[in-house]
Amino acid sequence: MFHTSLTLLIFAYLFIFLTAVFGLWIWYEVKRQRRERFAVRHRVRCSICAFLFEDASDVALPRCPRCGSVNERERISLL
């Protein structure tokens, strides 16, 4: 028969529990970041008036709806 101490059982339980919590945290964080990237993929910031607008067209240089200037598509930082 296999004998083990109470401390080893408590350590094993805590290790498994904390590993599961950490794994779920990482999984949800990856999902959240993927949703955020998907949500901002069509956003364009105007270089003249700094207006943030959505443009889902395939036009290389979209026009700003506020001031009418032509803008290049650039990645928008979420910070």
What is the 3-class SS of 63-78, one letter each residue?
ECCCCCCECCCCCCCC
Residue 42, pLDDT score: 85
DSSP conformation class of 51? -
Residue 64, pLDDT score: 92
Per-residue pLDDT tens digits for 2-56: 788 999 999 999 999 999 999 999 999 999 999 988 877 888 889 899 898 998 8
Q: Is residue 1 over pLDDT 80?
A: no
Q: Is residue 74 over pLDDT 80?
A: no
Tokens of 40: 């901002």
Residue 39, pLDDT score: 79
Banded model confidence at residue 76, pLDDT cuts 50, 70, 90: low
37 vs 26: CA distance, rounded Å: 17
Domain boundaries, the chain: 1-39, 43-79
